[in-house]
Amino acid sequence: MKPMDFEEFMWANGILQKTIDELKTCFIEQREVLPAIHEKMQDLFRKYICVGGMPEVVEAFIETGDLNRVLKLQRNILESYQDDFGRHLKQDNSLYVDKKELATILAVLNLFLVN
């Protein structure tokens, strides 16, 4: 499963295909979007920036609107990714953790994380 793009996020939030098509037409024709639609899309895009596109997180956001729950799920996903960093399978299918590689990856990741 891959993350949702903004269009998929719009679908998940109940935006009609007709509205999405109108937005695309406005973009192609370099025409202004109706103010009400523009404001709604700006609000939805801000939510997308915060929530992201991971399907489990998007589903929780839509069901609850709870950004604390969203943050918890995002952190759980990140932790599961971190658990895999530096792990490799040997030819005999045994697990090997490259500690130097793991330390480097975590150091780079920590440069971008805000606690």
CA distance 115 to 78: 13
Q: Tell me: the pLDDT tens digits for 8-18?
A: 999 999 999 99
Q: Tell me: the pLDDT tens digits for 58-95?
A: 999 999 999 999 999 999 998 888 777 777 767 787 78
Highest mean pLDDT among 54-58, 83-87, 104-108: 54-58
Residue with tokens 């489990």: 56
> Angle at CA 92, nearest 5°, toward 88 and 94?
45
* pLDDT band at residue 114 using 50, 70 and 90 as cut-offs: low
Look at the pTM and tell me if it is higher than 0.95: no
Which H helix or E strand runs over 47?
helix 35-51
